[in-house]
Amino acid sequence: MSKLVCVECLCDSYLQANFTDNVIDECNYCNEVRPVVPLEELVEELEEAIQASFTYAEQPPAVIHHGYPEVGHSIFDVLQIVLGADDMNLLSDLEGELREQWSECEDDDPFFIEQTYASSQLTSDWAQMQRSLQFESRLVNPVVGRVLEKIFSGIEELHTASEPRSAITLAGPGQSLIAFQRARKFEDEEGMAAALKHPEKYLGPTPRGKGSAGRMNAAGISVFYGATDNQTAIAEVRPPVGSWVVTATFEVIRPLRLLNLGDLGGIRPDPNLSYFDPVRQDQAERCAFLRELQQQMLIPVMPESADQGYLITQAIADYLATNEALNLDGILFPSVQVPKDASPGLNAILFHKASGVEKTEDQDALDQVSLWESDEDQWVFYPQIWEGSPSTEESAHGFMGHTHALEASLRLARGGITIHKIQGVSFTYKSDPVRHEPWSEGARHFGIR
């Protein structure tokens, strides 16, 4: 006869609520008379909860051959985590029941990590969205909105596990992120000097209607691409050796909400939810999908494949930019041009609504720009910019000129401009030799006769 467990010994509030109307009997673990559940029924619930939130952890060779500590949690540890119970006899009995259920597994002592797989429904919906975007409609596409609503709705409520925080990052006054670096490359000094004459206009976002398509924007949509450090900003413009790159600091002057794609891989379900709660199980599957989505969105795209390669990321950016419930101003994402261990910097895109820069009118241009200075009998590179006193009349004209302009989110720090002469470019790469074999051996290896 199966042992009986009372609702108090279960500890988990979700299970207690589910079994509170069960038959009343004596608990085999605390000997109190309360609503009880047979151990076999509890094991069925546990199996489902564990499968929904945990994955089998295959042990690396160092564990198998050299006695290193196992990776993951033992069955007993998983039971403690999932059930929250501290009765050793109950946990031992449950462990024995599960081991008997899993007796056909190859591993006699399995370990688990808290991770699961994306739901088949979300994966299927995503594939349908990709096909629809590619072959049906790229502009007004209800399939895109429906699928992305499933993925991103309520994402603010999900948090990372290591440092509990939302994937929504705040930027602006009083926040840790207060400025972005933006880079622009030049092939000659004349073009660079012309841009420095009005840096807000020429180092800021491309005017609407003129920009080319990018990872997160369609052609003609003006957005601000920047980075959190100079190294990342420079790498993203892919400058050739011998060119010049100008980086400028744009201060964030109003609060902005940014979705950090780099945090999607670490997002976990709400820790306050029971492992038996279907809501938590749905969140676990969505978190798994978000991890996969993060990797897909950051895959490098070859220039000749940009139109197709950027189709999904552009659709996602459009959805996030226009979703009123999320109220996002932009996206932070790791650079694919900089090795992960080379720079902690992130790329940033501010959507069109948040890409406004102060002082972009013609009357805001500088008075003079100089790149070289005479030093006795030689010229030295010594870039300088000057600005004159503002004109009341011009300022009024400028105000009128901005009647339909975006609310400014950024202010260029004219003292934060740097010129970089590109003297060399380095690469990181993985090498695989092409193996050459005599015809007879190669033919045998590939089954060729």
Span 273-285, pLDDT tens digits: 999 999 998 888 8
- Residue 340 banded pLDDT, cuts 50, 70, 90: low
Q: Which of 84-98, 253-267, 430-444 has the lowest mean pLDDT?
A: 430-444
Say if residue 2's pLDDT is above 60.
yes
Burial of 251 (0-12, 13-18, 19+ CB in 10 A): middle
pLDDT value at position 391? 54
* Closest among 328, 329, 334, 331 to 355, alpha carbons compared: 329
Whole-number Cα distances in Å, 139 to 61, 134, 144, 349: 50, 11, 10, 21
SS3 316: helix
Say if residue 54's pLDDT is above 80.
yes
- The two tokens of residue 137 are 């409609």
How far apart (Å, rounded) are the C-alpha atoms in residues 261 and 291? 9
How far apart (Å, rounded) are the C-alpha atoms in residues 381 and 401? 37
pLDDT digits (tens, 9 = 90+) for 73-110: 999 999 999 999 889 999 999 999 998 888 776 677 88
Q: Which of 57-66, 87-96, 210-219, 388-397 has the lowest mean pLDDT?
A: 388-397
SS3 261: helix
pLDDT value at position 139? 73
How far apart (Å, rounded) are the C-alpha atoms in residues 302 and 307? 10
Say if residue 397's pLDDT is above 70.
no
| Amino acid present at 25 | D
Contact 445, 437 (CB under 8 A): yes
- The two tokens of residue 298 are 């950051």
How far apart (Å, rounded) are the C-alpha atoms in residues 198 and 194? 7
Name the DSSP class of 6.
E
Pairing of strands 330-334, 224-227: unpaired
* Closest among 412, 319, 292, 308 to 360, alpha carbons compared: 412
How far apart (Å, rounded) are the C-alpha atoms in residues 210 and 191? 18
Say if residue 154's pLDDT is above 50.
yes
Beta bridge partners of 141: none
pTM, two decimal places:
0.80
pLDDT value at position 165? 80
Whole-number Cα distances in Å, 184 to 56, 226, 232, 328, 414: 48, 10, 12, 26, 15
Say if residue 395's pLDDT is above 50.
no
Contact 149, 168 (CB under 8 A): no
| Averaged confidence pLDDT in the chain | 86
Contact 229, 345 (CB under 8 A): yes
Q: ∠ at Cα 356 (351, 359), nearest 5°?
A: 160
Mean pLDDT, residues 345-360 taken together: 93
**Long-range contacts of the stretch 87-92 (C-beta < 8 A, 24+):** 87/9, 87/29, 87/30, 89/29, 90/5, 90/9, 90/29
Say if residue 40's pLDDT is above 90.
yes
Residue 110 contacts by C-beta under 8 Å, 6 or more apart in sequence?
A: 56, 57, 75, 102
Other C-beta atoms lying within 10 Å of the C-beta of residue 405: 14
Of 341-345, 385-389, 431-435, the range with the highest mean pLDDT is 431-435
Helices (H), 84-229: 88-101, 120-135, 142-152, 189-197, 199-203
pLDDT value at position 301? 64
Say if residue 286's pLDDT is above 90.
no
Say if residue 217's pLDDT is above 50.
yes
* Closest among 10, 78, 73 to 41, alpha carbons compared: 10
